[in-house]
Structure 1
Amino acid sequence: MSTSAVRPNFAPAMRPLRPLRLLALAIALAGASAGDALATRGSRYVTAGRCAGVPGVQLKVAKGFCVGLAASGLGLPRGVLPLADGRVLVTDLGRWDAPAGRLLLLSPRPGGYEVRPLLKGLDRPHGLQAGPDGQVYLAEAGRILRVNLERTPPTVTPVITGLPAEGRHPLKQFVFGPDGAIHVNVGASTDHCEDAPAPRGMRCHEAERDTPGAAIWRYAQVDGRWVGKPYARGLRNAMALAFAPDGSLWQAENSRDTLPGGGDSEALPHDELNRIRPGAHYGWPYCTDMGRFDPAFAPGDCSRYTKPERLLPAHSAPLGMVFYTPAAAPEAWRGSLVIGLHGYRRQGHRIIAWRFDASGRPARNFTVLVDGWQATARHPLGAPTDIKADTRGRLWVTEDRNGTLLVISPE
């Protein structure tokens, strides 16, 4: 793959974006030590028994599964990627105000996982994916890197650069499409374009300009260069992205925090499950739910925007999702879309699954896969971030409120 990229001209939205920092990426392969190994010590979880070879966690889990604590003390773990050899990669965001993120390698050992950092000094890393070339790809706030794990220490190559790294939603999630193109979340710089000009009837520049934020961008190779174009817009923060087995792209939307006209509620506005169609506009910031219009903007017609396929609980904050397709997955769950709800409010901190019918449409209601973080005081409040499945049917879940890596395993 070529390492060159076309830098999109993301114009300022409601407030200027500061120039991207040129980071000196300190790459270090740390040797294992007694302090690194079997990093479940000091966990806030109460454990009992075993699950997938690690201590079991006493959460509510659907019949036929167990939940295990693979590692704790991981900082602010975000992205996760199980490797074919049994090891697991995790991104640690580090800090929101400085390039202090890490790429961690977790290696199985009797009784747990040994943790060591492979990369340091990353700028708010989140997304992790395996590319069609067999290489690992990692998203910082402002760029996407290819990581060569075959080198010691690992080497990194910038693939996509110039992504906006400031504003309210700087983190980047991305997925590879069936054709090898990279689809990247460029989150809105605000909650609901509240920095727009004051006169009633104005439209949101960030959602409408030629280089939109609140959008999914598609990058494909053209003459050896990665060239990006807007793919779908009107999506406030597409941190949960996944391609279905039929090749369709799905997104779980983090909707706005405040309601049109002010105020807030535990019930509104809903987060969303969207099927992403090229060129579609999904309504941010003008419309929420199935057509609730914000009178601060004009014209007041939500019919021009693509509606969600299904609604998620309000403020549940979906951050990671995956189609659960391994042959080793339990038959009743195989093909489901598994989503982690990161939200701290009462409708978050759960992992749910949406079954799809033969026509490729989600069922009317989702099923809860893991729950119970809030059930008793001895359980820390959970905040699942990313989710990936391995070939053994296990689901790997990063959980950043408690700095842990969990594994959901068929029993």
Structure 2
Amino acid sequence: MTSHPAWRAALAGALSLSVALPALAQQPAPPPAWAQGRSSEQANSPLAPHAPRLTAVPAASIPVDAIKLPEGFRAELWASGMPGARMMARGEDGTVYVGTRSIGRVYAVKDEGGSRATRTLAQRLDQPNGVAVKDGALYVIAINRVLRYDNIAQNPNAEPVDLTQAFNLPTEAHHGWKFANFGPDGKLYMNIGVPCNVCTFDEDRHALIVRFNPDGSGREIVGKGVRNSVGFDWRPGSNVLYASNNGRDWAGNDTPEDTLHRLARPGEHHGFPYCSGNAWQDPGHTARKCSEFPAPVALLGPHTAPLGMRFYTGTMFPEAYRGRAFIARHGSWNRDAKSGFDVVTVALNEDGSQGKVEPFLTGLLDAGDNSFKGRPTDVLVMPDGSLLVSDEQNGAIYRITYQR
């Protein structure tokens, strides 16, 4: 019996597919975004991002007693029970709103005269790191959503207004978590990180500081070439914006340095992916030279992960600290000897072009066994001049005071 021509064609196709499938199966999966740029010599490196703690830490186990500060300063546990606590914003009634990443929650912490009541305001969001308050409304910025909670103090259970389409933000997850704050001009500023470790990308879409009208209209680029800023603030008296920046990984234990930048000219390019740290030229991106970009104001150490930053505007701290930038360094993962896990200050010179970095809050990193007890993530100056410091690792907020 002669086989039908159609059967022969189908059989030939099946055989060719069975030959091709093993070849397809052998194709390696692309590396995760954090591993991009890793050389073949680094392929077996044990270095990887630290896994976040997603459960509450008992107050008695939070290492507030390990914290070291300059003479006269004191740390206390201000709030706890908030797994993943990161960026902070203070409402007009004194409530402190706290964003997270991996756990997908936004917390509200209300001071009730000596004690704090903490509740979950929102949950099941995609990395709602960014929180900001304006005219009684809380803005929550996640990877793929922008939500506005109107009259949040009077209506803590109200449904939010969804502004996602108006803002039209990129939805890539890697470095897609936001820091947000309203500027002196009333506009909402936020970062848009690069969706990779190091790569070629649309420089009008990523590695930016941008600003919007509060309704999401009027997008403007404030600064380009800022790889991954998760903290910025305006210098008192000048209204000039300064931003922390996380440099690329897999270029060595001490290369490049993380940085503090001054965004003095709207739209100015600050170097990434071509240049990082202290004029370090990326060998894979040589189309532009470091001499083309403004130098950073301060070097914050290699892989220390500087995140939240604020200028100190209070009067509780000694005169020498007033006007300094306080920066939470979340701590390294892409470095054999860990660094960061602290809060530093940066004292700027008169014209704001250079800064001197000094330690402030230490004690959470044990250099002896290369381990850490906490991960400072954001800082917030309170009306009485005290300083709040969030700790993502312990789901806590510390309060720093000074007694004369």
What is the TM-score with the length of structure 2 in the denominator? 0.77
Tell me whether 1:374 sits opposite 2:365 in the alignment. yes
Aligned amino acid, residue 297 of structure 1: H
Cα drift, residue 43 of structure 1: 4.3
Q: Unaligned stretches of 5+ in structure 2?
A: 1-29, 32-55
Inter-partner Cα distance in structure 2 for 1:404 and 1:281:
36
CA contact (8 A) 1:182 1:220 kept: yes
Question: After the TM superposition, which residues 12-411 of structure 1 pair with which residues of structure 2 at under 5 Å, given as runs?
Answer: 41-46=58-63, 57-95=65-103, 101-109=104-112, 112-131=115-134, 133-148=135-150, 149=152, 150-159=154-163, 160-193=166-199, 204-207=200-203, 211-220=204-213, 226-245=217-236, 246-259=238-251, 264-265=252-253, 267-276=254-263, 277-299=265-287, 301-344=289-332, 346-363=338-355, 365-375=356-366, 381-411=373-403
Structure 1 CA distance, aligned partners of 2:94 and 2:298? Answer: 35
Displacement of 1:42 in angstroms is 4.6
Q: Do the aligned partners of 1:294 and 1:300 also contact (CA within 8 Å) in 2? A: no
Partners of 2:61 and 2:148 lie apart in 1 by 34
Pair 1:40–1:343, CA change in 2 (3 A): closer
1:173-223 Cα distance to aligned partner (Å, 9 max, x none): 122221112222010001110xxxxxxxxxx3323xxx32111112137xx
| Contact kept in structure 2, 1:212 and 1:230, CA below 8 Å | no
8 Å Cα contact 1:40-1:112 kept in structure 2:
no
Give yes or no for contact 1:40–1:69 (8 Å, CA) kept in 2. Answer: no
1:146 shift after superposition: 2.2
Residue identity opposite 1:205 in structure 2 = F
Q: Shift of the alpha carbon at 1:128?
A: 1.8
| 1:242 Cα offset (Å) | 0.9
Structure 1 residues 230 and 300, CA, compared in 2 at 3 Å: closer, same or farther?
closer
Paired residues of 2:57 and 2:83 also in contact (CA < 8 A):
no
Residues 371-405 of structure 1: CA distance to partner in whole angstroms, max 9, x if unpaired?
A: 0112488x952211121111111111211112211
Alpha-carbon offset, residue 286 of structure 1: 1.1
- The equivalent residue for 2:24 is none
Amino acid at match of 2:378: D
Contact 1:59 1:371 in 2 (8 A): yes
**Amino acid in the other structure paired with 1:168:** H
Task: Give the Cα separation in 2 of the matches to 1:236 and 1:291.
Answer: 15
**CA separation in 1, counterparts of 2:282 and 2:353?**
29
Indicate conservation of the 8 Å contact 2:57/2:395, yes or no.
no
Q: Equivalents in 1 of 2:396, 2:360: separation in Å?
A: 18
Q: Over the residues paired in the alignment, what is the CA RMSD in angstroms?
A: 2.7
Q: TM-score, normalised by structure 1?
A: 0.75
Task: Output the CA distance in 2 between the equivalents of 1:58 and 1:298.
Answer: 45
- Counterpart AA for 1:332: A
Q: For the structure 1 residues 409 and 155, does the alpha-carbon distance in structure 2 shift closer, same or farther, using more than 3 Å as the test?
A: farther
Question: Alpha-carbon deviation of 1:123?
Answer: 2.1
Look at both structures and tell me which one has the larger radius of gyration over its CA atoms: 2
SS at match of 2:260: strand
Q: 1:310 is matched by which residue type in structure 2? A: A
1:140 to partner: Cα distance = 1.3
Q: Provide the C-alpha distance between the structure 2 equivalents of 1:335 and 1:399, rounded to a whole number of angstroms.
A: 23
Instruction: Decide which moves more: 280-289 or 78-87.
Output: 78-87
Point out the more displaced range, 136-145 or 306-315: 136-145
Letter in 1 for 2:212: Y
CA contact 2:341–2:372 (8 Å) conserved in 1: no
C-alpha change, 1:308 and 1:152, in structure 2 (3 Å) is closer
CA distance in 2, matches of 1:183, 1:43: 37
- Alignment-mate amino acid for residue 224 of structure 2: R
The 4+ residue runs of structure 1 with deviation greater than 6 A are none
Distance (whole Å) between structure 1 residues aligned to residue 281 and residue 100 of structure 2: 38
Q: CA deviation at 1:85?
A: 4.0
Shift of 1:308: 1.1
Is the contact made by 2:167 and 2:216 (CA closer than 8 Å) also made in structure 1?
A: no
